[in-house]
Structure 1
Amino acid sequence: MLIAFWIVAGLTALAFLAAGLMKLVRPSDALASSGLTWVEDFTTGPVKLIGVAEVLGALGLVLPPLFHTAVIVSPISGIALAALMVGAIVTHIRRKESPIPPLVLGLLSIVAAVLGFTTLV
């Protein structure tokens, strides 16, 4: 189970870290022109806040078990990332876009959370 956790959590964290850093570094108009058209519905502040949430969630998913401290934070981060993806799914459905990418990331977050809880026992 521990190996499965590290595979799922590591890949999920990489995806969220990349997405979050992109939202933090690039301006909203550059994000929109690169295909993230949903940013047109939000001001810069919420887009950056989503980026911060994704980066913190990614770090919270892997750093606590890596350093063997406060390991309960890892599955909680997985749940929080899944909740964030629920909002992303709703946004994509409202815009009549495909909700599949946030759905997959949300499911991976849930799997990482479940595996994280099972490794605590």
Structure 2
Amino acid sequence: MIYRKVPMNIFIIVATFAVAGFASYAFTKAGIDKLKTSDADLLARGWGWVSKAPKGTTKFIGLAELLGGLGVILSPVAVTVFDFDWALPLGIAAAAGLATIMVLANLVHIAVTVIATVLLALYPTA
């Protein structure tokens, strides 16, 4: 039996780029959408929290998602392809920032759902 050994580093690098590429695409697209779309249009889409958030919050979130999405993919490219070791902390910071955005977004959605559920239980509509 012939056994051909494939270095694990290659697999890890390919997997990292695949995950980073998907995250980069998703967050960059979401960030650009939030930056280009007005708050009134976001409200029309059903994003009720936009009316209660301070002015500029959606633009700030959009900018953070755009920069985080770019940082998640550009940092591994800079470290792996160009051997720029200084880019590694930037990629880690971008990923940590995106994780923070997602945790806070989940807390907002949970709070809105709980408040709506309690109000519907206290004041049934039909």
How many corresponding residue pairs?
97
Q: Which runs of structure 1 show a deviation greater than 4 angstroms over 4 or more consecutive aligned residues?
A: none
Matches within 5 A, 1:9-88: 9-68=20-79, 69=84, 70-88=87-105
Choose 1 or 2 for highest CA Rg. 2
**2:88 counterpart SS class:** coil
**What TM-score does the superposition give when structure 1 sets the normalisation length?**
0.73
Gaps of 5+ in 2: 1-11, 115-126
Unaligned runs of 5+ in 1: 98-121
**Counterpart-to-counterpart distance in 2, 1:29 and 1:96:** 22
- CA apart distance, 1:67: 2.9
How far 1:17 moved relative to its partner?
Answer: 0.6
Q: If the length of structure 2 is used for normalisation, what is the TM-score?
A: 0.70
Which structure has more relative contact order (CA 8 Å, sep 6+)? It is 1
CA root-mean-square deviation: 1.5
Cα pair 1:13 1:61 within 8 Å, conserved? yes
Q: Percent identity?
A: 35
Matches of 2:47 and 2:28, distance apart in 1: 16
In 2, Cα distance between the equivalents of 1:63 and 1:5? Answer: 12
